[in-house]
Amino acid sequence: MNAAERYALKEAVAKRRKDEPFEKALGRTMRTLGHDYEAYIQVIARVRELAKSRKIALDEAALALASEEV
């Protein structure tokens, strides 16, 4: 995962609206930062995979990936 994608994950968690799914927040953030749909699919797949394996929420998995704890 590159630095721009890690930044997008942090921004999505920080700017997530109340009662908004994480996927929607990430999609909005990635579009704002100029990423395409293919990049979004790759990032959310990694987030979902980590969340499932650790049995944690998507935003927690995103922060773990963003800080490279994986």
User: Block means of pLDDT (10 residues each) for the chain, length 70 residues?
Assistant: 92 94 96 95 96 96 83
pLDDT score, position 27? 96
Q: How far apart are CA 16 and CA 30, in angstroms?
A: 12
Q: What is the pTM of this model?
A: 0.89
Residues 6+ apart with CB under 8 A from 54: 61, 64
pLDDT at 21: 95
**What is the pLDDT at residue 38?**
96
Total domain count, the chain: 1
> So what's the pLDDT on residue 60?
95
Q: Where are the alpha helices (DSSP H) in 1-70?
A: 3-14, 22-32, 37-54, 58-66
Residue 68 pLDDT: 77
What pLDDT, on a 0 to 100 scale, did the predictor assign at position 1?
82
Q: What are phi and psi of 6, to 5 degrees?
A: -65, -40
Domain extent, residue 29, equals 3-66
